[in-house]
Structure 1
């Protein structure tokens, strides 16, 4: 059987102490000479040394891993946030486990239990809002935890999300010259912060311009139902002349419907949505969107989590961080 290469073998081969090799492996080499680093790096390569991650985790009392629980990984916003978190963690020598909860509280709980069993050092979650007691228990343990995209009443957990009211205000500003604006959204639930805030903000901002948003101009349903809801919307005696699509998945359904029904954008109906999808610029016509600074938001969430990991007693970051949306003005309105 091939002998397992140990840290002692690396130290002997490099001509340095075990503690020096350990410092190198843990990234603590700010004051280490370049020649020493090169000798250790060469020894690791020549001996094909692979650190025993389990042993290191036990010794350091850290798994150098965090968990990210997203509501739905199909959203552009979710994938961009994950990428930013992964980039940040990679620089810190950490790994990321991504879990897709499908906005299902049972799946969310299962993933939290699994991540705790794997002893991850902290969790960034897009919470469903239905596992308050579970998260409260983690808070009481001073377990590192950050929420993304959604607020949960009664939980003092640092949260990173968009200024949804500002996003709605920007949408109204883009559509203020139209007479019959409508909004298209997935199911509206109190704990789904972005949807509720964007709807309320849109309705309130329209009112400031003397425009109402009757209930029949709110097309709301599961993604699989959006086509049916749009059919009902455009069968109204006075069909909408503008649409605010609340996110990227809704946008896909709206574009599909308009294409099938030969509805022209913006001649027949103006269109604006939240989330700057990859095809927005080359779609015909190019789509006016309101983008979220997803990469900055993901990085901020990771920074907040690492502050807690480093010092679980640090309560200075226990607040809500709102990020500014940005208009990408193109041709659809």
Structure 2
């Protein structure tokens, strides 16, 4: 069985000290000549050296690993955020472990416990809201944690999320500007008071009131994804069906578009549509879809910055805050 190559062997091959090899491995090149770097690189390649991550972790008391628990990886928003978070942590020398909770608190609990057992240096969580005791324990232990997309009332944990009231307002304003007054909103289930969904409904109501339009309860619908086709059937069976539909997220938008196609309804002639969250096909769908976008890269950058600050901070009692980023409307032809 081949023995593991050591830093000492790399140093001897490259004719440098072990500390110089260590600096190279940690990407600290400031006091290292180009020829030294090249010799170390050549020695590593010749000897087929691989750093001992476990030994490094024990020595530096860090695993250089963070966990990300996403509520539902099917959302285009989630995959865009994850890609940006992974890039950010890779640039900072960290690996990430991605877990998908499927909006199930028990699954989220299992992942949190598993990641803590693996001694990750911190967590970014899109919280289900169903594990308050675990969130509180991490907070009390000063364990580095950042919430993404959803806030948990009563917990002082750094949180990065969208200004959801503004997102709904941008959509309602666009509908009204195009002379649509009978406006419906559909979101996925709010059974656990998932903050983006609740806040988008609140923003929708406030925007209607600002325009002097009535808030009609029959136009406000929430349901699990598999029930949305039935919700749409009920909406269009109303004596006054909506002229416009605000889809609260990309999963709802896809269900709305399926219904329109299946029932030969033309967008925007029969009903106008705006979705919150950009989707890959929005610009070339027929007609191209108006959407409210989230600044996913900026949100990922902020979450990375906040978690790294906690990981590196000696002051574990730093002030926490909710950081809300601003949405944008991309006007196309669906309203």
Q: TM-score, normalised by structure 2?
A: 0.97
The list of structure 1 runs, each at least 4 consecutive aligned residues, that deviate by more than 6 angstroms after superposition, is none
Give the superposition deviation at 1:65: 0.5
1:19 aligned residue: 19
Distance 1:91 1:314 in 2: 24
Give the superposition deviation at 1:141: 1.1
1:195 aligned residue: 197
Give the superposition deviation at 1:219: 2.3
Moved more, 305-314 or 167-176: 305-314
Secondary structure of the equivalent of 1:265?
Answer: coil
2:252 aligned residue: 250
2:301 aligned residue: 299
* Residues 280-319 of structure 1 aligned to structure 2 (within 5 Å): 280-311=282-313, 313-316=315-318, 318-319=320-321
Secondary structure of the equivalent of 2:98?
Answer: strand
1:86 aligned residue: 86
1:208 aligned residue: 210
2:146 aligned residue: 146
Q: 1:288, 1:327 within 8 Å by CA — same for their partners in 2? A: yes
Q: 2:142, 2:317 within 8 Å by CA — same for their partners in 1? A: no
Q: 1:189, 1:196 within 8 Å by CA — same for their partners in 2? A: no
1:77 aligned residue: 77
2:222 aligned residue: 220
Give the superposition deviation at 1:191: 3.4
| 1:15-70 CA distance string (max 9 Å, x none) | 01111111111222222222211111111011110111111111111111000000
Secondary structure of the equivalent of 1:133?
Answer: helix
How many residue pairs end up in the alignment?
A: 333
Moved more, 30-39 or 253-262: 30-39
Secondary structure of the equivalent of 1:321?
Answer: strand
Q: 2:85, 2:300 within 8 Å by CA — same for their partners in 1? A: yes
Give the superposition deviation at 1:271: 0.6
Distance 1:46 1:8 in 2: 14
Q: 2:249, 2:276 within 8 Å by CA — same for their partners in 1? A: yes
Give the superposition deviation at 1:317: 5.6
Distance 2:290 2:267 in 1: 11
Distance 2:314 2:307 in 1: 10
1:111 aligned residue: 111
1:166–1:261: structure 2 CA closer, same or farther, 3 Å change rule?
A: same
Q: 2:10, 2:21 within 8 Å by CA — same for their partners in 1? A: yes
Give the superposition deviation at 1:312: 5.1
Q: 2:142, 2:316 within 8 Å by CA — same for their partners in 1? A: no
Q: 1:182, 1:213 within 8 Å by CA — same for their partners in 2? A: no
Alignment RMSD (CA, Å): 1.1
Moved more, 186-195 or 122-131: 186-195
Give the superposition deviation at 1:275: 0.4
Give the superposition deviation at 1:179: 2.3
Q: 1:304, 1:317 within 8 Å by CA — same for their partners in 2? A: no
Give the superposition deviation at 1:256: 0.0
2:182 aligned residue: 180
Equivalent in 259, 275, 278 of residue 276 of structure 1:
278
Distance 1:145 1:175 in 2: 39
1:31 aligned residue: 31
